[in-house]
Structure 1
């Protein structure tokens, strides 16, 4: 017997897609704000955790809503951040290198977060 398709499924899915798309600018603004508060000479562990959580959330949900590359790039930044978090001490240049990648990502996402290529 065939499974009946919930008539409202696609309407709900489209509404969720629209909600995610509408949230991208504020998410990028939050990433930019956190990055601006980041001090590579004395990183705040709570801020590092906040950045990690934001990137993890983007990475986990972006592809579901048609933002495949946005999610892939968030995952790469998240993984690089996780490596830095594993060390007792990280040099300021290593943090600055990671932050440059974050800056590039946010600038790209602010222009076209649904793009299918990343520079």
Structure 2
């Protein structure tokens, strides 16, 4: 979803079935997502989200976004750990469903990581600001 008008496609029914077989609570999803030594449920090669993204500046709508390889890799790793091939909330389920909660967790964690990475690069010469 790299364009402003892009809508998420419905998640694959088989993906949802496998997801609900693996996870039973939001706490379990959070724990797997936060575990830096966690096993990936699928390979990163199976993750389609940001597959065509390249590092560097990219225009999205009226804004320019700078995506680094690290951020793209981090997104792929997070999704692979949860067994999600394509980040796509299920718009047919309740907003607080377990799968949608997993999508929310991935979005927030990757956003925070990207903000931290940006902050570190801006203040690399001034560690006292961190």
Q: Give the TM-score normalised by the residue count of structure 2.
A: 0.31
Task: Give me the TM-score of the superposition, normalised by structure 1.
Answer: 0.33
Work out which of the two has the higher radius of gyration on C-alpha atoms and give 1 or 2. Answer: 1
Which structure features the higher share of strand residues? 2
